[in-house]
Structure 1
Amino acid sequence: MTESETASILHADLDSFFASVEQRDDPRLRGRPVIVGGGVVLAASYEAKAFGVRSAMGGRQAARLCPEAIVVPARFDAYVAASRAVFEIFRDTTPLVEGISIDEAFLEVGGLRRLVGEPVDIAVALRRRVREEVGLPISVGVARTKYLAKVASAVSKPDGLLHVPPHGEEHFLHPLPVERLWGVGAVTAAKLHADGIRTLGDLARREESELAHVVGKAAGRHLHALARLRDPRPVETGRRRRSVGAQSAIGRGRRTHEELEALLAALVDRVSRRLRGGERAGRTVTLRLRFDDYTRVTRATTLPRATAATADWLQAGRGLLHTARPLIEERGCTLIGISVSGLVETGRDEQLELPLHLEGVDGRGTRERARLDGALDDLRERYGGSAVVRAAMIGRHAGVEMPTLPDPGPRSR
């Protein structure tokens, strides 16, 4: 059996990450139902999940399901610090680490067999180190492919370890419900159920052409391949993100346009800082809004040249927010997000070459803004993300959700 045919991929996933950090840092919360975030649930402990509480659920619904829950505000500096510590353990375990969110990653450990031991032994040691050094529970799946490893870690939760050997893949996978399949949400699951497909075994027994009639050609090809254990994707290291974003779940209740602008400014500060930290610039900014009726809308604009300047993105974001103002006033707003895409590599010397098309901006102003951005970045790096805040945000509380990938720490390629 070749190395690619052995179970050497780990999917490591921190359990109820935000809530687990809160329980770690406050002993009074341990063993009790904890909800992070008020208006919208950002995370729930397993004690709260037992009552049906889930992430992205409205705060009122969560309170009805679990009236005994303890609601705590989000502390993103603590979550980032915990994520960095865990990813240091990942990278100390193997150089082949692919982070896919702030709290989970794939690790390829097949090449460590002679030096360290079998993949399962490595997974055991990894879980022990995360528990002892960071104080958090983590679930790990060990399998031949990324997809199987991810499913295995999900099945093993909470705080578990599951190894799927190559000879036992069908035995493990086929009895599971189709909802376990990577990429199957509520809508796709409903279509599959309507056609009599409820387990992954049911799915595997169908032909690709049959699935195409049910869920479409592309989705049918994807589901057919995974159900038949075909997933050739390797663990990718050094992958650069195509976009950088952040969002704030603000709950129900009318917000003034000035309040939304203040939240937007805080998000732009976070995103532009991460761009500069990764020596990247972008051209397209996208505004995402969710309304009281749970409908969503996006607005986007593209600048003539790539930039990493906070002021440029703030001006562009404010323009997009203004265009959406009638919808916000009509429907109310429960979430606001911002992301920057069209990313390119940049360097310190290039930071002066920022777009000069904005009204009232000249070369000198551009240089001064670049120096100001750099000074603020240094302050936040030394003293924490909350060391410098905009005056408009003083006294405000908003659950600002972290981007989908962890901050890589020191600049890396």
Structure 2
Amino acid sequence: MAVHHRGDTTARPPHPIIMHLDMDAFFVNVELLSRPELRGQKIIVAHDSPRSVVLSASYEARRYGVGSAMPLARAKQMCPGATIVEPSAHYRDYSARVMDILRDITDRVEQVSVDEAFVDLTGAVRTQGSPAFIAQKARDRIAGELNLPSSVGISSSKFIAKMASTGSKPNGLWVVPPSRVQEFLDPLPVGNLWGVGKKSEAALESLGIHTVQQLREYELPWLQLKFGQSAGAHLHAMARGVDPRPVVTHREEKSMGAEHTFSVDVTESEHISQAVYHLCLKVARRLRTAHRQTRTLSLKIRFSDFETLARACPLDAPTSSGKAMYEAVMKQLHQLDFLDPAGDAPRAFRLLGVRAEKLEDSGAGVQLALLETSLTQSVPEASAHWLEAEETMDRIHAKFGSRGLLPARLLHPPPEQ
């Protein structure tokens, strides 16, 4: 275990104290709990299909260049002999237990993904000890209770805390106090800075700027002249470790979506309609779980030649019904001529995605159209019954799993990615 301890304090701090906890190879290590015989081997977590992508890889596989979101076929070429492990259903449960441990420290927890979170320790240090002590206690609990490793970075901002947790991997702890932020940043490549992508990195390096220290030599007006007002200001702030973003304990989702990648390109009506129905039911269930409804949808279509389009899909009224969403999507696909009158696709589909947008509280009700005179005209009785049926399905799924009850047309769904 690598521990880099660069100073901390138990007194009331003059600066925020932000901790970033990141689980190490989370998906791999969860799978190892039930398959310990694979420990120390090259492991890739992914659906083993021609078009699958890597969900996670063990550190042994990462040494070969394997990374998340990489096409599985490429990962197999780069890391011959790796064991492919199918993703399981345990990740959210372990994620929730990790977050519960963090919330035992303070309620100032911002979960940013299934396996990482920011924690504001500013108040906790007054009663619980130094930042390093608190962080190590949390890591010890995660390791002891869940048998999972984690890495932690601590500093005065989210940006530096996250970089410190990355630098402490695997299974480490790194505290960077405010007085040593610049010392921490200066030697780093500019590409390590938050918000600096490949294109920005190449542009900076073309100007002879390779490290953060070199970037810091340039004043704000010059950076804004070269990169624009917003990007220039961002680079100027990042080079100095300035990041005022607070820990946000509740983030309301602005949209909810799902995608399906076909195992083979499809044109047949049956496969397309099944995929759309499956996606709409999935998104609708997420909406109902969050007590939300959507006013509009967006569609993502990727064709066999990899051309990808996004199109709006209007709804007649706000809804959280998968069937209502399905009917709207199918109607729009026909109107856009992505489907012919028989429901087949003139151009083969590789991927379909549905996203609910303009979300609102499900108790907001339905606004009647100006010329409508009754609620039954805007919300037909059949639609209300379907929503009741889907809510009943939610309760059955909660008790017996997502395969406990399905519409007849989804008893043989199209193959997953």
Q: Tell me the TM-score normalised to structure 2 length.
A: 0.84
In structure 1, distance between residues paired with 2:80 and 2:132: 40
Tell whether 2:324 aligns with 1:344.
no
Judged with a 3 Å threshold, the aligned counterparts in structure 2 of structure 1 residues 223 and 37 are, in CA distance, closer, same or farther, namely: farther
Q: Which runs of structure 2 are paired with 1:43-82 in the superposition (5 Å)?
A: 43-75=56-88, 77-82=89-94
Instruction: Tell me which residue corresponds to 1:21.
Output: 30
In structure 2, distance between residues paired with 1:393 and 1:158: 43
CA contact (8 A) 2:282 2:322 kept: no
Query: What displacement does 1:279 show?
Result: 0.9
Q: Which runs of structure 2 are paired with 1:154-193 in the superposition (5 Å)?
A: 154-193=166-205
Judged with a 3 Å threshold, the aligned counterparts in structure 2 of structure 1 residues 240 and 394 are, in CA distance, closer, same or farther, namely: same
1:247-306, CA deviations, whole angstroms, 9 ceiling, x for partnerless residues?
Answer: 34556x423443344333333222211111111111121222445665532222232532
In structure 1, distance between residues paired with 2:290 and 2:356: 13
SS at structure 2 position matched to 1:111: coil
Greater displacement, 277-286 / 14-23: 14-23
In structure 2, distance between residues paired with 1:308 and 1:354: 17
Query: What displacement does 1:207 show?
Result: 1.9
Instruction: Tell me which residue corresponds to 2:4.
Output: none
Tell whether 2:412 aligns with 1:394.
yes
Query: What displacement does 1:171 show?
Result: 0.8
CA contact (8 A) 1:288 1:298 kept: yes
SS at structure 2 position matched to 1:114: helix
1:311-369, CA deviations, whole angstroms, 9 ceiling, x for partnerless residues?
Answer: 1222233345554748x865752x4332212111223xx6788999xxx9853112211
Structure with greater contact order relative to length (CA < 8 Å, sep ≥ 6): 1
Equivalent position amino acid for 1:45 in 2: S
Q: How many residues align?
A: 392
SS at structure 1 position matched to 2:353: strand
Judged with a 3 Å threshold, the aligned counterparts in structure 2 of structure 1 residues 174 and 155 are, in CA distance, closer, same or farther, namely: same
Q: What's the % identity of the aligned pairs? A: 36
In structure 2, distance between residues paired with 1:353 and 1:18: 44
In structure 1, distance between residues paired with 2:392 and 2:154: 44
Unaligned runs of 5+ in 2: 1-8, 340-344
In structure 2, distance between residues paired with 1:26 and 1:304: 50
In structure 1, distance between residues paired with 2:147 and 2:281: 30
Judged with a 3 Å threshold, the aligned counterparts in structure 2 of structure 1 residues 211 and 388 are, in CA distance, closer, same or farther, namely: farther
Q: Which runs of structure 2 are paired with 1:207-218 in the superposition (5 Å)?
A: 207-218=219-230
Bigger-Rg structure (1/2) = 2
SS at structure 1 position matched to 2:252: coil
Q: Which runs of structure 2 are paired with 1:13-412 in the superposition (5 Å)?
A: 13-35=22-44, 36-38=46-48, 39=51, 40-75=53-88, 77-250=89-262, 253-257=264-268, 258-290=270-302, 295-322=307-334, 323=336, 325=338, 330=347, 333=350, 335-347=351-363, 363-390=380-407, 391-392=409-410, 394=412, 396-399=414-417
In structure 1, distance between residues paired with 2:301 and 2:357: 17
CA contact (8 A) 2:139 2:150 kept: yes
Judged with a 3 Å threshold, the aligned counterparts in structure 2 of structure 1 residues 254 and 373 are, in CA distance, closer, same or farther, namely: same
Equivalent position amino acid for 1:73 in 2: E
Query: What displacement does 1:174 show?
Result: 1.5
In structure 1, distance between residues paired with 2:178 and 2:75: 41
Equivalent position amino acid for 2:169 in 1: K
In structure 1, distance between residues paired with 2:211 and 2:85: 38
Judged with a 3 Å threshold, the aligned counterparts in structure 2 of structure 1 residues 219 and 159 are, in CA distance, closer, same or farther, namely: same
Query: What displacement does 1:200 show?
Result: 1.7
1:134-169, CA deviations, whole angstroms, 9 ceiling, x for partnerless residues?
Answer: 232222111100111111111222222211111110
SS at structure 2 position matched to 1:115: helix
SS at structure 2 position matched to 1:302: strand
Equivalent position amino acid for 2:40 in 1: G
In structure 1, distance between residues paired with 2:43 and 2:276: 28
Judged with a 3 Å threshold, the aligned counterparts in structure 2 of structure 1 residues 179 and 361 are, in CA distance, closer, same or farther, namely: same
CA contact (8 A) 1:351 1:370 kept: no
Equivalent position amino acid for 2:390 in 1: D
CA contact (8 A) 1:15 1:137 kept: yes
Please report the RMSD computed on the Cα atoms of aligned residues, expressed in angstroms: 2.9
Equivalent position amino acid for 1:306 in 2: P
Judged with a 3 Å threshold, the aligned counterparts in structure 2 of structure 1 residues 105 and 389 are, in CA distance, closer, same or farther, namely: farther
In structure 2, distance between residues paired with 1:324 and 1:44: 41
